[in-house]
Structures are given as structure tokens and as C-alpha cells.
Amino acid sequence: MRPLHFIRRGQPVALANVPPERTLLELLRDDLGATGTKEGCGEGDCGACTVVLGEREGTGDQERIRYRAINACIRLAHSIDGMALWTVEDLTEDPLIETSDAHTAAGLHPAQEAMVQAHGSQCGFCTPGFVMSLFAMYQNRCCKGEAITRADAVHDLSGNLCRCTGYRPILDAAQAMGDLPVQAVNETKLLQQLKLLAIDRQALEPDLTYISPTTEAALLAARAAHPQAQVVAGCTDVGLWVTKQHRQFAQVLDVTQAAELRRIERDAGHLRIGAAVTLADAFGALQQHWPDALRFAARFAGLPVRNSGTLGGNVANGSPIGDSMPLLIALRARVELGSVRGTRELALEDLYTGYRQNVMAADELLLRIHVPLPQPHERLRAYKVSKRFDDDISAVCLVLNLTIEHGSVQAASIGAGGVAATPARARAAEAALVGQPWSEATVQAATAALQAEFNPISDMRASSAYRRAMLAALPLRFWLETQGGAPASLDLLALEELP
């Protein structure tokens, strides 16, 4: 078992004998005594455990540090190997965080000072997590000269929950910290340290308990050699197996360091998203072509989850309530599977054979998702129905992608989640739409087909009857929106503008 290496407080840290299933939160609190990072929900929902990772991005003169706020409770410790780490204790102790005024003592970091001045903390349990999300926001926005808007603050703090303050003072702090004396990470020094750390790590023997290949070929070879290893990406689901089910793994195969799987590429007709691309980056690429995906991403999960979780992991996991699959099915996406024997492609909806079961062989991995670029006259709407607006699991997810031209439906693809044992394509509803005039009567026929196509269950999130009602209501909502009706969605409601 090779040691775990990372940079903290401007110094390399090496920790030996870290079990492959140990979480980053356990490492911080139990091994390093960094108890400022709190354990709240243990499932990536509350944000009390938020820390910030820094990772090299780009090459040559364009190389920089990418800062990501992530949930430590469900992130495996070994996954940060080779990165920089900040906890709430580090903001006043890291020599790489330098003030812009050489004659002024650093004191509290602006993320902390702004919370003090805005009275953003009451009981204080959630405060360290908020401060770390603010720190990532500060590095990514304020240090680049960007002013933080209210919408920016809501977006970047979407993974942090607070029971006391009602959020207004915390949002005030987010907008105010850019006005305080600058304290920024010296990225030149940090890049040098991370490069030296990478050289040192290359000299180490490969780890056979936490296997993290850096190329696609090495990854597929490791999969063939260790088919029993637990495959992980961002661990936003596998992490729950550790925290809630107390599972242990003799071997873990991490796909996120394979360079080829971290790329987003575009050709004349497709967007190719590597399986290790984070949900945040994947949705960022998708929304450039389908603007509705931006709103959908905000409903998908809080930013720390999207910063860790990967699109490929979400798809390969195959949960019937996973939100990315209905979207990708509606976009007619195909998945690329690979092994040492070669690669193959199939429609995403054909990947699944049953509840969390798929067609992949023991030596295969999901490598890329191929998404056709939009054609003229396509209209996409993605709807998520859940009990809570932010950071909640869908009761029903329905995504409709229709090509409407000259008043009739020329093509249709509909993805559905939460209504069957797998994410599914609504082929009967599509057939009821294609070739028909785009009218309320056509939509009513399609909703009848949609309700007949699925027999959803009742569970803690919704009853079968409610899910069936949503299958009827959402296509009608789409039709009303195409007729000029205002979209009825909470994310379009500006609370500040209400009387």
C-alpha cells in the first residue's frame, strides 16, 4: 500500500497505511485532528464537511490551479493523492495564502472576516463548510477580479445547508468578501510544489489496493487484471456505501486520473464527454448547446456533489432515479464501453438490463458518452419533481426533446427517471407524437401513452398515483410553455422582487 501524498499548508504530506475505503473526513478528523471539518449527514447533503481541493489544470503557460469545494464525508481519501487540500483551519495557517499588502498582517481570511461582519453564523456547526465554499468562490471569482452577484452566491453555496440564519447574512458575506483586503493563494509556488509532488509519486511502486491509472490503456489493463476491484469515480454514491452500509473494499479502481477520460471533445456532429469529467464540467459543456441544461444542473445536486461526481459514474451506476440519464436519453446519447479486447458503442438506454444492472462485461468500463449536437428546430425541456428544490432526489424526472417544424412533430426523444426499474426511453409516447400536429390533443394522446408505458412504484418520495399524475402534467406543461406561457418554475422566482 503506497502512501497518500498531498499538499497542505504549503508543505507535502505523506500518510502511510490508509485503507482504500477510508473517507477524507475520517482522515482529517481521526488521523490529522482537523476537527473544524464537521460530520453532519454523512451523505453529501448538508455541506458541513466541505473542504477545498486544488488541482493542476491546463499545460504550459496556461497551467493554473482549479479550486473545487467538495464533500469530505463521501470522498475517498486516496482520491486526493497529488492534490492540494485546504480545511477551515488552514486559511490562517497556510503560508501560500498571501495578503496583497506586505505591511498588513493577514488576520482572518476574507471568507471568514466577511462572515463575522455579516453575522453569518449562529450555532456555528455549518459555518466551517460555508467558509470553505466561500473560500473556493473567492479563489475562483474574486481573485480573478470578478464581482460576486447574488445569483453567483446562491449557485456556489447550493451544497451548504443552515438551520439558523435563513441564509441572507451568508449571502451578504459572499458578496462582501471581495471588498476586503486581498488574500490569495500564491499559485506559482503551489504549482511548483504540485509538480515536484507528481515527480516524487512517479518513483513509487504502483498501489495494488487503491489503483489509480493515469492513462486509458493502463486503466483497461488494470480492469482486466482486477475485475473484482470496486470501480469508483467521484464516490458520490459509493461513498454512501462506506458511510451508511460500512462496506470495506479489498481493492479500489479509480478511473478519474486517466487523462483521456478527463477530456471533453467536440467534432462536427458530437460532443464527447469522458467518463471522468465532473458533473459540473459536463453540465457546463452541455448547457453551451442546450441552455435548459443549466437550470437542470442546479436541480441535479449542490455544487460540491457536482464538483466530485462524474457524468460517467452517474451513468454507469444506473440508478433509476439518477437525473443525468433521462437528459442524455432525450439527447439520444450513446455510450462507449471499452476493455483490453476493444471498444463498442450502444444507445444509453440499452446499457441497462435491470435494477442497477447493465450489459458491461467484468473487464469492461464506460469510457465516454457521445452526445449528438442539436439540430434546427429542436426544443428541449428538462423537468425534475422533488420534495425539496435544492439537493434532493427526484420523484420523477422527465426530459422531452422534440423537433417541431411547420406545426408538426418531426422527431421526439423522451427520457424518464423514477418511474421504472431503470432510466428509460418513452418510446410509446414518442410514437404518439411523431408525425402529428403540435397541439393539445396530440399532447393528451402522448400523455396517455406515457402513463400506459410505465407502472411506477410507491415509496418514501412519492406514491405511484402521484408519479403517474406527473407523467401526465409535465408534457402538458411543455406544450403550454411552447405556446407562450411563462415557465412555472421556482428557479425563475426572484424573491427580492416579490411585494
Span between the terminal Cα atoms of the chain, in Å: 61
List, in order, residues 6 or more apart from 307 with CB less than 8 Å away: 68, 69, 70, 278, 279, 280
The domain that holds 9 is classified in CATH as: 3.10.20.30
Assess contact for 147 and 130: CB atoms under 8 A. Answer: no
418 has a pLDDT exceeding 80: yes
Bridge partners, residue 291, by sequence: none
pLDDT, mean over the chain: 93
Considering 159, 185, 211, which residue would you say is the last residue of a domain? 185
Question: What pLDDT was estimated at residue 173?
Answer: 97
Any idea which residue has 460576486 for its cell? 148
489 has a pLDDT exceeding 80: no
C-alpha 288/C-alpha 208 separation (Å) is: 40
Q: Which of 155-164, 203-212, 237-246, 326-335 is most confident?
A: 326-335
Task: Read off the pLDDT band of 143 (50, 70, 90).
Answer: very high
Question: What pLDDT was estimated at residue 100?
Answer: 76
**What percent of the chain is modeled with pLDDT above 70?**
96
Question: What are φ and ψ of residue 64, in 5° steps?
Answer: -150, 180
Considering 185, 208, 227, which residue would you say is the last residue of a domain? 185
Assess contact for 72 and 50: CB atoms under 8 A. Answer: yes
105 has a pLDDT exceeding 70: no
246 in a structural domain: yes
498 has a pLDDT exceeding 60: no
Task: Read off the pLDDT band of 235 (50, 70, 90).
Answer: very high
Look at residues 396, 397, 415 and name the one whose alpha carbon lies nearest to residue 457: 396
Q: Which three cell numbers stand for residue 273?
A: 464527454
List, in order, residues 6 or more apart from 473 with CB less than 8 Å away: none
- Centre a 10 Å sphere on the Cβ of residue 455 and count the other Cβ atoms it contains: 11
Assess contact for 352 and 314: CB atoms under 8 A. Answer: no
The domain that holds 428 is classified in CATH as: 3.30.390.50
Query: Both 203 and 248 in a single domain?
Result: yes
Which tens digit of pLDDT belongs to each residue from 473-487?
999 999 999 998 665
221 has a pLDDT exceeding 70: yes
| DSSP annotation of 263 | -
Query: Both 278 and 375 in a single domain?
Result: yes
Query: Both 226 and 240 in a single domain?
Result: yes
Question: What pLDDT was estimated at residue 97?
Answer: 96
Range of the domain at 397: 263-491
Assess contact for 202 and 195: CB atoms under 8 A. Answer: no
- Range in 65-79, 280-294, 353-367 the model is least confident about: 280-294
Query: Both 323 and 344 in a single domain?
Result: yes
Question: What pLDDT was estimated at residue 293?
Answer: 85
493 has a pLDDT exceeding 90: no
The domain that holds 104 is classified in CATH as: 1.10.150.120
- Range in 102-106, 192-196, 242-246 the model is least confident about: 102-106
Query: Both 212 and 241 in a single domain?
Result: yes
Question: What pLDDT was estimated at residue 297?
Answer: 85
What does the chain come to in residues?
Answer: 499
- Range in 192-201, 307-316, 409-418 the model is least confident about: 192-201
Question: What are φ and ψ of residue 81, in 5° steps?
Answer: -55, 125
Query: Both 50 and 77 in a single domain?
Result: yes
Half-sphere exposure of 192 (CA within 13 A, CB side): 7
Half-sphere exposure of 54 (CA within 13 A, CB side): 31
Provide the domain count of the chain. Answer: 3
Question: What pLDDT was estimated at residue 496?
Answer: 56
Assess contact for 307 and 69: CB atoms under 8 A. Answer: yes
Which tens digit of pLDDT belongs to each residue from 314-324?
999 999 988 99
**What torsion, rounded to 10 degrees, do the Cα atoms 206, 209, 212, 215 define?**
60
DSSP string, 94-133: -TTEEES-TTS---S-HHHHHHHHTT--SS-SSHHHHHHH
